[in-house]
Structure 1
């Protein structure tokens, strides 16, 4: 077995340049079996037994399609260490649940994110993209693309959907940055105990914000998503205020942060791949959907999810025991040489493109995938039509093992 001289549980690994991290995952994919790692030590959770790193597309897909064995609800899916009880109160959304509770919540919220429902938002998303683009033109040829464009579109759409006033946008952005800040000192703290307290405080304040609105919508409903969720009744089931708050935090994390990073990375990829940019702009309407899928594949905005086995099980020749943890590395699965020809090449015509940027098929496939695709498509298409010379500079990446994020990126035109 090849000696692996890096540790995915070491915070220092996630500070390495992207190309060095990619070389490490290539080494892992070349091995005959998944590597086992000790869990990282964090002051707000007990140290667990360790985990297997699933880096192949086939392993990630197989585990995702078998939730009865590979459970999300036993300690949570968004953290390698088991989520402590106080964290679960704010971050214990359906992404960290198994059926039947997961299915119950998904039934209730699913109506807001069907393809038909999302299609009705197209005009609104395009209008917001056009407003942002006109402001970029008026401001002049230069600035931070993340703060002036990419972060604003999904933030406004999510807040408008939930019925939050514009005065709360900055509050929501600040606290969602804290939740997804990872180890990054710009959003968190070098002290992990302090970071844990910051996460809890951000979760508490966001949950309180939406619960206050929900109470008002209970008495006086409007046409926003909060009203719909407060009054939704599926087979006699309704959301509790705690469930509504946790869902709102999930919506922010999955629908706001990840989409802004994909929009940013999309502009950068089109800048450093001028041939693909020229091809895309030659027929935006036809080629944009494929370009968005390729952007999400290459970007892999969510790096991992974690599962815990409910029983002994064999997966693709590897034996696992009940209680074992496995971490599904989507960033590695999306460049698996066994599935993608020339996986590090950005190709907007790639077909088929079975990427796992929205998760794999199964009960936890991204609920907001249709909305994310719409937002990325509209923002990039409007930009390329109105500012055809816009380019994205060298990104400043988020220091995180969970989100492939871009904090800042200069733009010029």
Structure 2
């Protein structure tokens, strides 16, 4: 983690011939090195190509072109009929059964139908209605640590709010929240030995964790079908668009997506935010000087800087005409990987892109995905959760700071933090 002045002084010699974005070890290197590589790739003409990564027992694919410039990420995001999601959304190849059910690996018209049904729970009006609940939950989270003066920011703070909000929305019992947390960690951390041992098959681990969550949702859906409540499961079971409703399988896979994308990403944004304030005390003071005024821009800057989702893949459709991108001619079946963190540091779009500035404006980041049909369904909810959590932290334990380096997730998918020790002046519950 570096402040703006350090970033501008730092020079890292990069030998691009030795860089392999598909090597899982690349994602364990210092963030400074990662973004120095992205800077070097962005400055090269055309699009660099990388072989598909190995992933458990899955077959290796034909590789992908890496997109590190904002213009290229926007162009692909805005053209979903050519650059499709139905062939997979990650660098590695996964079996078809994983692709056919998830909202993020669907194309229109099926994607549009499913999104219309589930989006009702994530409109600005629906999210605003959660404000009191989220604020109360944030107060309780701080209450549980405030007298201690130290804690693990990830486990004790960052993970609790998004997990609690999603589970409450879906009607998941409190007794099952730890189970959901653990299965989500496995699904999104399948390339980290802490969650999946080196000797295990990552594909098998992901499959088992996904099935565990699907079984939980099937069980709860059966109960809600007999005894509806006001939770999101009941609403989705009864929701219809043009006479169509969610199938049990679609509901289960939506729940899997929601627990992953809806909790892991916000958890990591909050964790990185705490680390950023530790490393940039002047930005903490700027935020503290005007919490109400600065919070909206600070939240966007945390998401831009941390870019919790590292990348998403698109594939040129089989019936598409060859298309040129950054001077590279792409044909049917060619794959591109959009690196959001790289685009979010494109100097053509951001002044001092390596710096952290809580008042940054404008801030046209793609931390919630690029424009188009796959823009994050839960962006409003994520902004609410990050806002209420930092309001509570800055109001009650304003000097919270990291006391050690973050234990980073070993993953090419999620820019995650597993543990972050913090300390602060103890206060009253």
- CA distance, structure 1, for counterparts of residue 97 and residue 120 of structure 2: 30
Residue from 371, 377, 381 that aligns with 1:367: 377
SS at match of 1:314: strand
**Superposition deviation, residue 107 in structure 1:** 0.3
- CA distance, structure 1, for counterparts of residue 180 and residue 53 of structure 2: 29
SS at match of 1:306: strand
Q: Which residue of 2 aligns with 1:231?
A: 238
Q: Which residue of 1 aligns with 2:115?
A: 106
Residue from 23, 29, 33 that aligns with 1:16: 29
Alpha-carbon displacement from aligned partner over 1:345-387 (angstroms, at most 9, x marks no partner) = 1011111100000001100000000000000000011011011
Structure 2's unaligned 5+ residue stretches are: 1-14, 425-429
Q: Which residue of 2 aligns with 1:395?
A: 406
Give the 5 Å matches for 1:190-205. 190-191=198-199, 194-205=201-212
Does structure 2 conserve the Cα–Cα contact (< 8 Å) formed by 1:9 and 1:39?
Answer: yes
**Superposition deviation, residue 41 in structure 1:** 2.4
Give the 5 Å matches for 1:131-210. 131-138=140-147, 140-191=148-199, 194-210=201-217
Does structure 2 conserve the Cα–Cα contact (< 8 Å) formed by 1:182 and 1:401?
Answer: no
- CA distance, structure 2, for counterparts of residue 51 and residue 63 of structure 1: 14
Q: Which residue of 2 aligns with 1:37?
A: 50
Residue from 76, 79, 85 that aligns with 2:96: 85
- Of 6-15 and 360-369, deviating more is 6-15
Q: Which residue of 1 aligns with 2:343?
A: 333
Which consecutive aligned stretches of 4+ in structure 1 deviate over 6 angstroms post-superposition? none
- CA distance, structure 2, for counterparts of residue 67 and residue 385 of structure 1: 43
SS at match of 1:133: helix
**Superposition deviation, residue 44 in structure 1:** 2.9
Give the 5 Å matches for 1:44-83. 44-74=57-87, 76-77=88-89, 79-83=90-94
**Superposition deviation, residue 246 in structure 1:** 0.5
Residue from 240, 261, 269 that aligns with 2:276: 269
- CA distance, structure 2, for counterparts of residue 303 and residue 67 of structure 1: 19
Does structure 2 conserve the Cα–Cα contact (< 8 Å) formed by 1:61 and 1:360?
Answer: yes
Question: Is 1:346–2:356 an aligned residue pair?
Answer: yes
**Superposition deviation, residue 3 in structure 1:** 4.6
**Superposition deviation, residue 219 in structure 1:** 1.5
Q: Which residue of 2 aligns with 1:250?
A: 257
Q: Which residue of 2 aligns with 1:118?
A: 127
Q: Which residue of 1 aligns with 2:7?
A: none
Q: Which residue of 2 aligns with 1:94?
A: 103
Does structure 1 conserve the Cα–Cα contact (< 8 Å) formed by 2:301 and 2:356?
Answer: yes
- CA distance, structure 2, for counterparts of residue 213 and residue 246 of structure 1: 14
- CA distance, structure 1, for counterparts of residue 361 and residue 260 of structure 2: 29
**Superposition deviation, residue 287 in structure 1:** 0.7
**Superposition deviation, residue 83 in structure 1:** 2.2
- CA distance, structure 2, for counterparts of residue 367 and residue 201 of structure 1: 26
- Of 371-380 and 18-27, deviating more is 18-27
Q: Which residue of 2 aligns with 1:376?
A: 386
With the length of structure 1 as denominator, give the TM-score of the two structures.
Answer: 0.96
Q: Which residue of 1 aligns with 2:316?
A: 309
- CA distance, structure 1, for counterparts of residue 189 and residue 326 of structure 2: 34
CA RMSD of aligned residues (A): 1.2
Does structure 2 conserve the Cα–Cα contact (< 8 Å) formed by 1:182 and 1:402?
Answer: no
**Superposition deviation, residue 236 in structure 1:** 0.7
Does structure 2 conserve the Cα–Cα contact (< 8 Å) formed by 1:44 and 1:84?
Answer: no
Does structure 1 conserve the Cα–Cα contact (< 8 Å) formed by 2:45 and 2:326?
Answer: no
Structure 1's unaligned 5+ residue stretches are: none
With the length of structure 2 as denominator, give the TM-score of the two structures.
Answer: 0.93
Q: Which residue of 1 aligns with 2:366?
A: 356
Does structure 1 conserve the Cα–Cα contact (< 8 Å) formed by 2:56 and 2:201?
Answer: no
Does structure 1 conserve the Cα–Cα contact (< 8 Å) formed by 2:190 and 2:205?
Answer: no
- CA distance, structure 2, for counterparts of residue 218 and residue 268 of structure 1: 44
Q: Which residue of 1 aligns with 2:8?
A: none
Does structure 1 conserve the Cα–Cα contact (< 8 Å) formed by 2:52 and 2:91?
Answer: yes
**Superposition deviation, residue 210 in structure 1:** 0.9
Residue from 137, 140, 145 that aligns with 1:128: 137
**Superposition deviation, residue 143 in structure 1:** 1.8
